[in-house]
Amino acid sequence: MKTILAVLAVFCMGSVALAAPERYLHVKVDDPAGREHVRVNIPLSLAEKVIPAINQGQLRDGKVELGNFHANGVDLKMLFDAVKSAPDGEFVTVQEPDTDVRVAKSNGKMIVHVIDKEGKEKVDVTIPWEVAQALASSGDKQLNVEAAIQALEKAGDTTLVTVTDNSQTVRVWIDSRNTSD
Amino acid sequence: MLLLGKIGLGFLGTALVAGAVVSSEGFIDVKVHEKQTNGTHISFVVPAMIVPVTLKFVPNHYLAEGSADLRRYLPVIDAAISGLADCPDGPLVDVTDPGEHASVVKSGGSIVVDVDDPDETVHVSVPLHAMQSAIDEIAAAGGPI
């Protein structure tokens, strides 16, 4: 009996030890004067359950329909295809009248710099390459957000997005802490 | 005397079981405090199971419109509540503006919302299980799902 209890205790402790810690997506928005701030901490397991349940607009069953979606006039599919075939570390640059978008893959990550030519806003996006591939895994016309979230859960602690402009700074990152302080 | 003691013990046991059943879904805690002079102050704590039980006695036609609106978002709501129930306790949202502060925290199986602005402070704590039961009752008021 004592042996059985000891084995059960070891089994339970082992299960607890092996259980993966919860991963969190954090969003932090601050204004330069420090008077306003927003903190959001979303467990990725929650996002993984909610995203597939949303069927609104272009987001259905965990996928975003792209069609001929352009962001600031930039063809995202064309950009992704160009980066995929480019050598590691080499930037693909798309120049628009108001902004330059520079994208590269480097050290297992997809890096996007959006530079506002008037110097008002700067956006830096760093996505683990596995997440970028998961996003593109549903073919040309869809972004697979559900698969991307699952890939994010396996990625290490990383800052995903930073946005800096005159009125606020935004940072989005993932780690295993349940607070953003 | 022995018989009276046994009867008393029976009543006590029944009361304990009833109390356990009533409090099994937790408690809804609401506090509202208006900051102006002679402002309203509300504070009550009720067993959460009262809400779905009470909804059963509300005629369906009063809930029909709410039910129709709710059904559109039911899969998302169910997924959100289920996801929240499974995730660890901690702060979910915290917003600070000059003079105002709002927070949403998951704590001990409940969602706790606190709002503090120049006019009032509000504290609401609702168990997730009771939230799900109440939403299911409202959604069912519009007929079988």
pLDDT for A9: 55
Assess whether pLDDT exceeds 70 at residue A73.
no
- Which of A71-75, A95-99, A110-114 has the least mean pLDDT? A71-75
Interface check A37 vs B, CB under 8 A:
yes
Does some domain include residue A57? yes
- This model of the complex carries an ipTM of 0.78
* Dist CA A88 CA A170 (whole Å): 28
pLDDT band at A12 (very low <50, low <70, confident <90, very high): low
**pTM listed for this prediction:** 0.79
Mean of pLDDT over chain A: 80
Interface check A53 vs B, CB under 8 A:
yes
Mean pLDDT by 10 residues, chain B (145 residues): 82 81 83 91 89 83 81 90 92 93 94 94 93 86 73
Assess whether pLDDT exceeds 70 at residue A16.
no
Percent of chain A with pLDDT over 90: 23
pLDDT for A21: 84
Interface check B93 vs A, CB under 8 A:
yes
Domain count, chain A: 1
Percent of chain A with pLDDT over 70: 81
The minimum CA-CA distance between A30 and chain B, rounded to whole Å, is 10
* Dist CA B16 CA A119 (whole Å): 69
Rounded alpha-carbon distances, angstroms, from residue B37 to B41, B99, B120? 11, 19, 11
Assess whether pLDDT exceeds 60 at residue A78.
yes
* Dist CA A130 CA A156 (whole Å): 11
Of A38, A46, A55, the CB nearest to B87: A46
H or E stretch covering B81: helix B74-86
Residue A66 CA to its chain's centroid (Å): 18
Are A41 and B90 a contacting pair at CB < 8 A?
A: yes
pLDDT band at A92 (very low <50, low <70, confident <90, very high): confident
Pair B117, B33: CB distance under 8 Å:
no
Among all chains, which residue has been given the structure tokens 């959460």? B48
pLDDT band at A171 (very low <50, low <70, confident <90, very high): very high
Phi and psi at residue A140, to the nearest 5°: -70, -30
What residues make up the domain containing A64?
A: 22-175
Pair A86, A94: CB distance under 8 Å:
no
Does some domain include residue A39? yes
* Long-range CB pairs of A72-80, under 8 A, 24+ apart, other chains included: A72/A96, A72/A98, A72/A99, A72/A101, A72/A114, A74/A101, A77/A140, A79/A103, A80/A132, A80/A136
Pair B26, B129: CB distance under 8 Å:
yes
Does some domain include residue A8? no
Does some domain include residue A7? no
Does some domain include residue A40? yes
pLDDT for B116: 95
Instruction: Determine the average pLDDT of the residues in A138-148.
Output: 83
